[in-house]
Amino acid sequence: MNHEFRCVPRIVCAAGVLQGIGEVFAGLGVKRVLLVCDPGIVKLGFAGQACAALEAAGCVVEVFNQVVADPPAAVVRQAVEQGRAFAADGVLGLGGGSSLDAAKLVALLINSEQPLEDLYGTDKATGRRLPLVLMPTTAGTGSEVTWVSVITDEQQRKQAVYSAQLMPDVAVLDPELTLGLPAGVTAATGLDAMVHAIEAYTSRTRKNPIADGLATTALGLLGGNLRKVLADGSDVAAREAMLQGSLMAGMAFVNASVAAIHGLAYPLGARFHIPHGHANALVMAPMLRFNLEAARGLYAELAGYLLPGEVFADEAAAAQAFVAGIEALVRDSGLELRLSRLGVDEAAIPAMAEDVVGGLKRLIDSNPRDMDVGQVEAIYRGIY
């Protein structure tokens, strides 16, 4: 019954709110904004719109547009140098999870003497970050409401920084920024967000009533709108619901933990560069099957949110319907679902299973059912 819960203190959600981003920074007393994004955001014109809105509110803006997926430490350092030279007094992260994760560290390091590598781990940051606003352009990682940042170090290892200092001041949701997302990205990031909600709700380690309320609401929003945005990417209301669901799933999982689905997804990203959301989508359905008996009661509860209005004979039927409902969503997502067609080397499966059971034990600990190396291998082989 003991829980600790952290939450972004302010959320703004409105179609077109990118045009009002200047007021958000003015409210924080910021005059010189470093915009952290990737080249795609510049091409789409969003970076230009953000600059115009900020300048209209009297801010001076500098753009760092070199973020790449799984951001390397060198990119973060480069952005920090640019921000210092510019004398930034606030940071805007605009983009997918990589840009938001990079922006968090940049806001912290511009204002700190600590070297980046000293931050790896939990609660290592000693400095206070600059004012920070995060605007996701996918729905999503939920990074805009978490205090975690994952980057890739010089040895190509993923390094996570956990620090309360990484929680932004404001998370801003603008569904118009997601209207043009390609279907594949929409599907992968949408399923990723659903995994956040599901794994938070079934977390064996830190499940709690606050996260539960957020996770169930998130699952209802995501499950009810993913097919809509895949059928019509320009459906603003459905895009907005996906962003809201992603945010609430983010609030839930960062306070309750994710579990083995994420555990099995990480090696696929680290070794074969499968995007994080897609990697989660790959292992999601077989993992829910694997967990079904251990998580039956909880999956039955989630069935009411994924399949509102449906009536189930009993708990077992509800849990079955939940897993079948997710399987159908994954199948209909249009994503490639075989590892063999995604460049994964079959010979790497035993090593990937070792990565999971050895290196990501904390995620197995949060899973409703324990897993050994053989069971992890079997999941990978089942989707090979």
Binding site for other proteins (CB under 8 A): 1-15, 17, 164, 167, 175, 208-210, 212-214, 216-218, 221, 236-237, 240-241, 244, 248, 304, 311
CA quadruple 170, 110, 76, 34: dihedral sign: positive
Give the span between the Cα atoms of 355 and 337, in whole angstroms.
Answer: 21
Nearer to other proteins, 129 or 276 (CB): 129
Task: Name the minimum Å distance from CB 267 to other proteins.
Answer: 33
- 297 Ramachandran zone, left/alpha/beta (phi>0; psi -120 to 50): alpha
Nearer to other proteins, 243 or 279 (CB): 243
Task: Name the minimum Å distance from CB 49 to other proteins.
Answer: 18
How far from 75 is each of 78, 102, 265, CA to CA, in Å? 5, 8, 24
Nearer to other proteins, 238 or 339 (CB): 238
Task: Name the minimum Å distance from CB 364 to other proteins.
Answer: 26
Instruction: Using alpha carbons, select from 235, 185, 239, 196 the residue that is nearest to residue 218.
Output: 196
Task: Name the minimum Å distance from CB 214 to other proteins.
Answer: 6
Question: Quick check: helix, strand or coil at residue 61?
Answer: strand
Nearer to other proteins, 99 or 217 (CB): 217
Nearer to other proteins, 71 or 175 (CB): 175
Give the span between the Cα atoms of 245 and 215, in whole angstroms.
Answer: 8
Task: Name the minimum Å distance from CB 334 to other proteins.
Answer: 26
- 32 Ramachandran zone, left/alpha/beta (phi>0; psi -120 to 50): beta
Place of tokens 């606003």: 133
